[in-house]
Structure 1
Amino acid sequence: MQKNISVVISTYNSPEWLKKVIWGYNTQTYRNFEMVIADDGSRKDTFDLIEEMKKEVFYPIIHVWHEDNGFQKSQILNKAILACTTDYIMMSDGDCIPRPDFVEQHIKFREEGYFLSGGYHKLPMDLSKNITKDDIYSGNCFDMEWLKKHGMKASFKNNKVDAIGLKSWFMNLLTPTTPSWNGHNASGWKKDIVAINGFDERMQYGGQDRELGERLVNYGIKPKQIRYSTVCLHLDHPRGYATPESINKNLNIRKETKEQKKKWTDFGIVKK
C-alpha cells in the first residue's frame, strides 16, 4: 500500500536514544507511514542500529546521511525532505519518543492551507536512560503515575502526557503558546515546504525550525495548535552545539524574514 505520511527523524550520534524512538513508532495506531532518518553525520554504530531495527519494525526506514561537518541539521533535513515519497511530512527528533497515537493525530488534524504545531514533554536524564523497550511497548512511559513513580516531578506541564479527547481540545484552546513549526513535533504538506525552499542552510542551532514556519506563514499557510493532542517524550541530553554565535546569527536571519515578510530562502533546497 502506498504510504501517505513521511515521518522525518533527525539524529546525530545518539543510537541509544534513536533506538527508543524507533521502538515508539513501532507502537503507532496509524501504520501507513514511512520513516526518513535525517542523519547529520553519525558514526557506524548508528548505521548498524538502523540496519538492525529495519528487521524489527513494521514500517520502511529510509536513511539519509551526509558527512559530519559540524551542526548542519538544516542541510540534512532538506535532503530528507527530497527523499520523502509522500505528499505529507511530519518532523520530529531522534530523542523524542512518540505516544502511540502520535501519527494518527497528525493525520486526523492535517488540512490544506495549514501546518500543525505539536507539543513535547521533557524527561529528566535518569528517567530518559531508564526507559526500556518494555516500558515503550506496554505504554507505561505515557502513564503519569508510572512517570511520577520513576522520578517525574509534579508540574502543570504533565497534563500534556495523557491529554486526549475533550481535555486536549480544551487545553489547545487555552494555551497561551503561539503555534510554530517545532523541530520536535510539526507537520505540513510537502508542496508547501518545497514552495518556500525548505530550511535556510545558513542556520545552525537555534530557531531554524521556527524560521521555516515563519516563511510558511508569510506564504499564506496558517499554523494549527495541537500542542495537547499529539505529544512526545523528549529524552534529555547535553547541547554542546548551542553556541551564542549560532543563536545570534539565527536571530538576525529570523528578524530579516519577519521584517521583509520573506517566503523564500536563497539558501535552501534549491541553491542560486
Structure 2
Amino acid sequence: MSDVTRAEICAIACAEAWLGDGEILASPTGVVPTIGVRLARATFAPDLLLSDGEAMLARGTWALGEAPPGIEGWIPFRAVFDLLYTGHRHVMMMPSQIDQYGNANISAIGDFARPTRQLLGVRGAPGNTVSHPTSYWVPKHGPRSFVAAVDMVSGVGYDRAATAPAAAKFHELRRVVSNLGVFDFNTDDHRMRVVSVHPGVTVAEVLAATAFDLVVPPDLPETRTPTDAELALIREVIDPRGARQREVAG
C-alpha cells in the first residue's frame, strides 16, 4: 500500500507505546490511540486486555463505533481500580497541556481560581501517573499544548514525582506521541527527548512548535511507517470510515 497518511503514522507510533507490555489492561483515550491499541493487540502485543468501554473485556479486533466480535472477561468498575493500583494498566491520555518533565493538564486553562477554559477536571490523572505506566497523545503539537509550565498539574511529571518517594516508586511516563513526532523522558534529568520525527516533519518544525527546550539526540530517525499488513488492519478492519483523519492535524 502507498500514500500513508500522517494519521496512520501516528497510529503505529501510539501502538508501539504498548510494545512489550504483556497481559495488562490497555486504556486509550482518543481515536488514534484506540486504533493504535487495537492494532497492537492484533499484531505484536496479543496479550493486551481491551475493554469494550463498559464492563467487558473484548475479544478479537473490531471497528470503531461497532461492538466487539466476542467477550473474554468481565471487568466491573471496581476491578479497574484493583488493576490500576497494582500497576497492571497502561493508559494513554490526551492532555491539553504538557511540559518538559511530563506534568500534564486536563483540568483548566488559565488561573485555576478563575480559569478562562474549564476542561475535564483532574479525573484519574494523579492516580494513573503514580500507579502505572502512562503515555500521552497530543493531536495538535504547538506552543499552547507543549508549554513551559502547565496551568494546572493534573498528571504528575518527573520533577514533582521526585519530591515524593511514594509517588516516584511506580511513576513511569512511557511515551508522548504528537502529530509531529514521538518523545520520551529517557534522559539523566527526565526532560522530554525527541525519539523520532514523523516523515515530512523537520526537527526545526518540532522545536518551533514547543515552548521549552527539547533534548534532541544526534542522528534522529524518522517514525516508522506501518507495514502493508498493518495498513490493511487500520483501513479495512479497525477504522474503515476514516475517523483517524479528522483527529490528526497536519
Q: More helix by proportion, 1 or 2?
A: 1
Highest relative contact order (Cα 8 Å, sep 6+), 1 or 2?
A: 1
TM-score over 0.5 for the pair? no
Return the TM-score normalized by structure 2: 0.29
